[in-house]
């Protein structure tokens, strides 16, 4: 019986370690091959590197989100295009609350494209979707189309670290 506290301590430590380690995976089911960042980190990187940001807002309990995630995760074309963006996805309590992140409502999933100054570009939306929910995406092809548009219209500056 004198080993019981050691076993309990070890078990609690193992659970806490796995919990912390699991939080390091920022993919949230959207693909581990993408280079994901937190929103705060992504906004900073976008500003410093002069690269646009792609933000996916979703929930763990959302049926539409669950259907979308594996499609996006498996898309080699979206993965290739992601190299032109700072990639951010927020899930559940990490959803940003500022009004600019809900330009036409708080539905999910929604995908927004931001310039390196952190401004949402509302002119980049799912053109094949419902006009009432312009930033709702249901498949990888609709996202790829918007990623291509964003890549072409959002400016890519030289990294601020390279300036004299």
pLDDT in tens, the chain (164 residues): 554 444 444 444 433 333 333 345 899 999 999 999 999 999 999 999 999 999 999 999 999 999 999 999 999 999 999 999 999 999 999 999 999 999 999 999 999 999 999 999 999 999 999 999 999 999 999 999 999 999 999 988 755 544 44
For residues 128 and 123, give the distance between their C-alpha atoms in angstroms, rounded to a whole number: 13
DSSP H helical segments within 31-135, as ranges?
Answer: 39-49, 63-73, 76-81
In CATH, the architecture of 26-162 is 3-Layer(aba) Sandwich (3.40)
CA distance 67 to 118: 28
pLDDT at residue 10 in the model:
40
Residue 25's pLDDT is: 86
Pick from 135, 28, 32, 137: nearest CA to 74: 32
Question: Shortest CA distance to 36 belongs to which of 88, 91, 112, 96?
Answer: 88
Per-residue confidence (pLDDT) for residue 157, from 0 to 100: 73
Q: How far apart are CA 106 and CA 56, in angstroms?
A: 12
**Residue 51's closest CA among 154, 164, 162?**
154
pTM, two decimal places: 0.82
Q: What is the pLDDT of residue 5?
A: 45
Give the contacts of 87 (CB within 8 A, at least 6 positions apart): 34, 35, 36, 37, 42, 53, 54
70 phi/psi in degrees, rounded to 5: -65, -30
Q: Identify the pLDDT of residue 93.
A: 96
Q: For residue 76, how far is the Cα from the chain centroid? A: 17
């Amino acid at each position: 019986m004198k080993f019981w506290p050691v076993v309990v301590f070890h078990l609690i430590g193992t659970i806490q370690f796995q919990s912390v380690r699991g939080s390091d995976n920022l993919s949230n089911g959207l693909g581990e091959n993408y280079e994901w960042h937190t929103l705060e980190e992504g906004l900073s990187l976008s500003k410093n590197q002069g690269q646009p940001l792609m933000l996916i807002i979703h929930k763990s309990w959302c049926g539409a989100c669950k259907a979308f995630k594996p499609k996006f995760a498996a898309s080699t074309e979206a993965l290739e295009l992601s190299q032109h963006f700072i990639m951010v996805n927020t899930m559940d309590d990490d959803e940003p609350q500022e009004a600019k992140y809900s330009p036409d409502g708080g539905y999910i999933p929604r995908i927004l494209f931001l310039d390196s100054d952190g401004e949402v570009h509302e002119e980049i939306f799912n053109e094949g979707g419902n006009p009432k929910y312009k930033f709702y995406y249901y498949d990888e092809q609709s996202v790829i189309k918007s990623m291509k548009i964003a890549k072409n219209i959002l400016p890519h500056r030289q990294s601020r670290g390279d300036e004299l």
